[in-house]
Amino acid sequence: MSKQKLTNKDLFNLSFRWTLYRSLVWNYEKMQAAGYLAVVGPTLDKFYKDDEAARLRAYDVESQFFNCETNLANIIFGMDIAVQEEFGEEGLEMAQAIKTSLMGPFSGIGDTLFSSVIAVIFGSIAVTTGLEGNYVGTLIWLVWMFFMPFVLRPWLCKLGYEQGLRLTTALSDQLAKLTKAGSILGLTVIGSMIASMVKVNFGTIKILGIEFNLQTQLLDAIMPKIGSVIVAALCYWFLGKFGMKSGRLIFVTMIFCILCSFLGILVV
């Protein structure tokens, strides 16, 4: 095996290939496995250029099942490459163990931080400012979208490569606390978005000849924005039930609201 140390440029290219190829030949059997192999393949060619059998075995190991959150996956293949650089073919089993043991926990952490918290925060800023005719929030969102592949992911890859196995033990407690805090923040932001952006107003009904406004005379007295909460809760409950997917739910909600508006149950 060639004892060639990777440069910062090599690590950046490794990370950027992940941005380009992570969903290459994605399938339900091995998910991101083909993309993972496409990412580490050129590096494996450098490591095992003098040992064809070891290179083929490394290819076989790196083509096994893999599925992880896009950003934190960079730490995993940084650690993977560091182990193989240090131990050669003997480190392949350790590298596979790293992938298998970390992709689940890192997915939970990454999905919470990047999908449920950061994406929601930047998205809500972009939507809110856009509704007011100010597109600064959209520009901030675009800056974040470019920051991830060109700054964040290369840095995470370098972190995994330099820290190796020490990273999982040194940061385990901090990551758990950060995930919990992120979950709380994400739920808070989502709750604020429901209250400020989901607008549901019930109309007026007639009871024994007396007009009764459901929104102002009943629901607002119980809890302002209760209609928004009910709609959001129902949408959350329906997801996954009766074959309901997010795209289908959007159309069902639109049709339901149009029908209720026609009947006077909902008003603008």
> What is the H or E stretch that residue 235 is in?
helix 226-238
1-10, 59-68, 91-100 — which is least confidently predicted?
1-10
For the chain, what is the radius of gyration of the CA atoms? 25
What mean pLDDT comes out for the span 146-151? 92
* pLDDT higher than threshold 80 for residue 224: no
Q: Assign residue 267 a region (left: φ > 0; alpha: ψ between -120 and 50; beta: otherwise).
A: beta
Tell me the pLDDT tens digit for each residue of 150-199.
Answer: 999 999 999 888 876 565 555 555 556 655 665 676 677 677 777 777 78
Distance, CA of 125 to CA of 131 (rounded, Å): 10
* pLDDT higher than threshold 70 for residue 4: no
Tell me the pLDDT tens digit for each residue of 66-79.
Answer: 999 999 999 988 98
What the block records as the tokens of 160 is 């995994």
Mean pLDDT of the chain: 81
**pLDDT reported for residue 2:** 47
Helix (H, G, I), strand (E, B) or coil at 66: strand
- What are the strands, taking DSSP E only, across 90-237? 201-202, 204-207, 210-213
Domain layout of the chain by residue ranges: 1-197, 201-267
pTM of the predicted model as reported, rounded to 2 decimal places = 0.66
**pLDDT reported for residue 16:** 92
Residue with token string 């990551």: 175
Closest to 222 (Cα-Cα) out of 198, 202, 194 = 202
